[in-house]
Structure 1
């Protein structure tokens, strides 16, 4: 559909078809416009090509200039088109951009996973398994990525990743299960990021790109999901764009319910003391997500605003049943925790970009702030000497209030200068964070019949840090070789303050982080890549807070204010193969982590204490295979297979905490295109046991299936999904030392059925 910007009389039709210059496939949804002259920045009329690459523009007789443009292609310009009546321009060749170190090397657009020099690009909408789900559901089906029972994300065996939203640091990444899959445009997995990115995190970078709309005209979509246990997910989005403005907004409502159980057994060897615990939980989570923004295009400049707002309410009831045998005596108790949490967050970003006359020559400046306020209440009932939590058996009450405020402010400026055979990049960035955690813990006093604060547990902990950075990258090409050399410098200032004890801890340090990226194109099909980066993993705020978490009085978790940062050297050597309908990537990787941070558990007087500590080092070495293939018109698949050898050396704490082992994981997604516009998908995941400093986690495996029926020329669809078909997804593991053995088993309700409907316009 065309949108004339001026009144037209005695119009003629100018038509044509855009074809990819290499594949000769139609290029759909590209923008085509007619201008009065090359100097004119505003078109007279414009339109989108349809799915077959065809376009039609109605305009008065005269001489015009035609432009076609689309992401990933060079602008097509045709001068001096003389319109004296309807004319067909025929097939027009649309040339794709030449690839460089930042662009996709291997891409199969119909598949949800694409390989790049730096890692992977995930397109959630191309994977049926994500329908009605959250960001964590996307990551569960992503090669190289593992998701733990509490929502922690690991990349190639590392749980420390730098998670960004739209390329920026955000407090909203604190709980990824509150980001619905429907608002995510794509996810970039960057295993070995160059100097442009923060040096933070051992595992690399996960960049979540939210939908904002880039096509001319008005577009949008509606989604609805309903599932077992009355799970509900509703969402809508809309955007309007012309040559001057782009406005977009999206809203999502999510009501999710969950039940689960957890079992643990601990045996103290010397005393033959045994503790058995069983916890049953019910969860209800109501979430509201709103993302919105706009772009203003003027001259060679773009001014953009991006906003995200979250408001979530969570209700949890956890009932713990415990049986302890100590010194030949049995003791039983029940602890019931009724917990409510309100979680509000707001992201704001203002971005200015200036494009110079030379293509690729630009300056970009960004200012952003991310705010999150989490308020949690806990009402705890204790029933001693019984396994029946009845009112007449109540022996104690406790309650707790947690008020945590997180603020992240970022200022950043980037400059890119194209060179004859490469480009130069440089930038500055300041990342300023403040986490204020105020925890009030009270016990019920029978004498006064009121709740009294327990100062040995209550605490307020303030964490502040500033990271000021500068970087420079030079990238170039010579014959078949493309390369990039980067250097980043970061000055870090950390200040923690514990109000209860007036204890303050300050650190200041400066580090240099080099990066290297190289790609040798053997021919049009095969390429060899090499990447290196030096990285840092700073202790996070909750790991530094020394005050204990005593939700379970016999299993206490606390922080360690004496932690120092991990320093990581990461190497990767890979082979890329891009055939007509098949792409294969093989990566060899190695990481050495000095001062590795891991949780160490000790048992004293029948109580288990867990806290993070710096180990000597850890080493990870492995090989990764990632493949995408269109085997036939009706069958395609993608997946990954990763083998890793892990060694953990904690001999600085105790010789018994040194461990090493082998782990592997596999993911396979298969897509079947059936008659009558029906798609059927199977997603299978397996993660082998993985060693830790004091034990190992056991294997995790599950299968998801989805079937989708499309209609209205693929504008609408209905999807039926069954998650964890065989109800096998559970988490288990053990800790083994010279003094105790501890096992755990955790199972949530993971076999669920979801029915989703979607319509795009």
Structure 2
């Protein structure tokens, strides 16, 4: 196996030598700027105020620092054409221009900052952070004002993000397509893995922003044919000691208590989060399996829960060796105790629709889920330019699950056609990622980036099924096995960009070598895949005026089958509707093209995107009937060509009303076949959402969001459309020190998902409903700043 990586290890060695040579180059600063910052009214010193040194030529940040407890500061630089900005929360930012700078020490003496005296009770909507920010290769969705998702999970937040949809099963789609790579703080994480809907363990209050990257640059790993969703978690960095405590309650059960603490000094930034809680996620399901050859049918109707008690502890520290070198070490431990009962009524009918069997299948599932995570990062600023950096990191994740399930059948009428069963699962997942990134802004126009990544995924799932026979539990050898999954990915990249006054372009190339091995231990079935791929990227922008610009992007991407796509085991909760993985699934590839126009007017901002996505070896879920049992497996089926239009807009109608909206329309062509069945068809899919944000008197905010997702064709049938409404209220107390939030998710319980599969020999119908969720939260902050509204949710 090592022979596959020898050439690339040489490349990494050359890269390390090059970076080392660059780090060794430095010059001594010749200018020192000193002073003391005080409150203009009280005369007290202001500690931890931010000192920023900027160039008078292009306003680019050169260097900076913070004031000490005494309010004094000292900042060194080589540049003489500069101006100074001094800022601190609660004070007006002071800008010092037309400075006479000389070599050596320049003492500016006492500098006064004036407090901001505006009333916090006034209704000010225009001061909010923009809901969506557009950058060259991404859109940034700021969730700080997303009231309706208060106390909810990350999946609920994602459902409010333009271009993103999440179905009831927790599957995330981007512009209607799956194959999305989800990152946490720019890195893979077990928190974003598909297993057990782990993304739901992150709560809305923990999220700073969400980046939607439909055409990622070569700097990002190439996983995800639809693009990348990067979830940025909060890490408080306010000066001095501060923190918050939050309490949330909800119906259905969604209760948590969280404490967030932070202490920032000149050398250290210490941060921690401690949370405990309990939540319940009920789901109602209904299904119909009809055999069109025998005209017999099976009807299933029932409810299942995912109840979890959790505790988590996060500790971390930034250590500032000096203004240009920072080491960050953070760790997280979480433990979840899972209880997932289910109760389904299963009726069998003959060809005349007469009942032949009726029974309840009652399930009891319990599991202990420990999670560990660590992240070590080193950042070095080279020279006076804060964007000239070397960033190295090592991340490790571990997730374990010991689960036991028992399924008991209670006969109601006719003959019992199922047997009592018991399962045992011993699951582990270890992920390690090592990254090195170097960024060099050569001058104001040109920037070079290069780096590498090595990722290791090691997974095991020992699964045992017992059947009750004559009062004893007997192992079912056909359903029992030990699945092993091991994947290694080595990636190297380089990008170069030019950014002028009106025009900019960024070119990149990435190479990735993938080594994947799966093994079914009991049957000795293996699947070994080794492949090397090139992933070019192009991004360009042109500024037509101060208010109008256009962007062009291209990227090539890959979707590697994940554990739950490959794992052949399945849940036997409902033995008539089974989903299992395909250990021989191949990766899918896509080419993405996008043209975007952005208009930023006085009170109105609009953007429109035309896109084309060509995907090969598309992974689709395919159902087949065995008797009256529906078995669904992922398969590689042909190609998909999708043409689409996306519109996003924000309008500040008044100082108390802001309206945002998003429309995505795509038309696709499918070509492919599977087992002599033709799967050629065309169709469309579209979604629309709109949010109204009202600034009411008494420091109250009201938010209402409406969503609609259209029906669309699948390779075997059709998914129905549905509409739903979210709403939320927020009130600030004590000048922002405390916040009360009330949120309602799916106000009318109308988010009902229906899947119809029509084939020559069978018909299958599935319906799922999560229902209405209500949350009420209270947060109080102490120290400096406003309430951070941390929910105490799991990480």
Counterpart residue number, 2:3: none
Counterpart pick for 1:510 among 532, 536, 539: 532
Task: Give the C-alpha shift of residue 52 in structure 1.
Answer: 4.4
Does the C-alpha gap of structure 1 residues 91 and 551 become closer, same or farther in structure 2, counting only changes over 3 Å? closer
- 2:420 is the counterpart of 1:397: yes
Tell me: CA distance 1:613–1:496, structure 2 relative to 1, closer, same or farther (3 Å): same
Q: Distance in 2 between matches of 1:639 and 1:52?
A: 34
1:759 maps to which residue?
Answer: 780
Deviation at 1:264, TM superposition (A): 1.0
SS for the counterpart of 1:380 is strand
Partner of 1:288: 311
Q: 1:602 to 1:50 in 2, by over 3 A?
A: closer
Structure 1 partner of 2:717: 695
> Residues 14 and 88 of structure 1 are in contact (CA less than 8 Å); yes or no, is this contact kept in structure 2?
no
After superposition, residues 157-556 of structure 1 pair within 5 angstroms as: 157-174=176-193, 175-299=198-322, 300-326=324-350, 330-359=356-385, 360-384=387-411, 386=413, 396-420=419-443, 421-446=445-470, 449-556=471-578
Give CA-to-partner distance per residue, 1:232-282, whole Å, 9 cap, x none.
122221111122111101123231123332111122222222221112223
Give distance in 1, aligned partners of 2:345 and 2:457: 40
Q: Could you tell me how far 1:679 is from its partner in structure 2?
A: 0.9
Q: Give 1:337 deviation, angstroms.
A: 1.3
CA distance in 1, matches of 2:384, 2:89: 31
Q: Secondary structure at the match of 1:382?
A: strand
**Alignment partner, residue 88 of structure 2:** 49
Q: 1:141 to 1:90 in 2, by over 3 A?
A: closer
**Within 2, Cα distance between the matches of 1:635 and 1:400?**
54
Question: Per-residue CA shift, 1:94-128, capped at 9, x if unaligned?
Answer: xxxxxxxxxxxxx9853333233333212222211
Determine helix, strand or coil for the equivalent of 1:564.
coil
Residue aligning to 2:744? 722
Bigger relative contact order (CA 8 A; separation at least 6): 2
* Contact 1:142–1:667, Cα closer than 8 Å, also in 2: no
Q: 1:169 Cα shift?
A: 0.9
Q: By how many angstroms is 1:327 displaced?
A: 5.3
Q: How does 1:121-136 map to 2 (within 5 A)?
A: 121-136=140-155
Matches within 5 A, 1:83-98: 83=109, 88=112
Between the aligned partners of 2:640 and 2:174, the Cα distance in structure 1 is 15
Map of 2:59 onto structure 1 = none
Q: 1:37 to 1:723 in 2, by over 3 A?
A: closer
Report if the CA contact (8 A) 1:14-1:89 is conserved: no
Shift of 1:730: 1.5
Per-residue CA shift, 1:391-413, capped at 9, x if unaligned? xx998421101111011101111
Decide whether the 8 Å contact of 2:208 with 2:233 is kept in 1: yes
After superposition, the Cα gap between the structure-2 partners of 1:591 and 1:289, relative to the gap in structure 1 and judged at 3 Å, is: farther
Counterpart-to-counterpart distance in 1, 2:462 and 2:517: 16
Q: Deviation at 1:649?
A: 2.3
Could you tell me whether the CA contact under 8 Å between 2:423 and 2:463 is conserved in 1? Answer: yes
The question of whether the paired residues in 2 share the 8 Å contact of 1:656 and 1:737 is answered with: no
- How far the C-alpha of 1:487 sits from its partner, in A, is 0.3
The TM-score normalised by the length of structure 2 is: 0.83
> 1:119 and 1:348 mapped to 2: Cα distance?
27
Q: What corresponds to 1:99 in structure 2?
A: none
Question: 1:576 touches 1:584 (CA, 8 Å); kept in 2?
Answer: yes
Q: Evaluate the alpha carbon distance shift between residue 472 and residue 5 of structure 1 in structure 2; reply closer, same or farther with a 3 A threshold.
A: same
1:578-633: CA deviations, max 9, x gaps?
12333211111111110001111111222222111110111222111111232211
Distance change in 2, residues 1:116/1:87 (3 Å): closer
SS of alignment partner, residue 451 of structure 2: strand
Deviations 1:353-375 (A, max 9, x none): 11110412111111111110022
What secondary structure does 2:162 align onto? coil
Give how far 1:556 is off.
2.6
Alignment-derived partner of residue 80 in structure 1:
106
Instruction: Assess, with a 3 A threshold, how the Cα gap between structure 1 residues 293 and 14 changes in structure 2: closer, same or farther.
Output: closer
1:665-722 per-residue CA deviation (whole Å, 9 max, x = no partner) reads 1111111011111111111111111221111211122111111221111221112222
Match of 2:789 in 1: none
Q: After superposition, where does 1:639-718 map in structure 2 within 5 Å?
A: 639-718=661-740
Per the alignment, residue 793 of structure 2 pairs with: none
Deviation (angstroms), 1:31: 5.7
The 8 Å contact of residues 50 and 86 in structure 2, kept in 1 or not, is answered as: no
Structure 2 distance, partners of 1:161, 1:78, is: 54
2:135: which partner in 1?
116
Provide structure 2 residue ranges, at least 5 long, that are not aligned to the other structure.
1-34, 57-64, 79-84, 98-102, 117-125, 783-795
Partner of 1:38: 76
In 2, distance between residues paired with 1:82 and 1:537?
Answer: 57
- Structure 1 residue 54, shift from structure 2 partner: 5.6
Q: CA deviation at 1:214?
A: 2.1
Give yes or no for the alignment of 1:625 onto 2:652: no
TM-superposed CA distance for 1:651, in Å, is 2.2
Equivalent pair of 1:48/1:216 in contact (CA under 8 Å) = no
Counterparts of 2:105 and 2:662 in 1: how far apart (Å)?
48
Any conservation in 1 of the 2:290–2:628 contact (CA below 8 Å)?
Answer: no
1:97 maps to: none
Deviation track 1:286-333 (CA, whole Å, cap 9, x = no partner) reads 222333311111132111112233221221221221222245572333
SS in structure 2 at match of 1:501: coil
Change (3 A) 1:603 1:437: same
Whole-Å Cα distance in 1 between the matches of residues 222 and 496 of structure 2?
Answer: 18
CA distance in structure 1 between the partners assigned to 2:539 and 2:682 by the alignment: 30
The aligned residue for residue 4 of structure 2 is none
**Residues 460-482 of structure 1, C-alpha deviation per residue, up to 9 Å, x if partnerless?**
10000100010000011245111
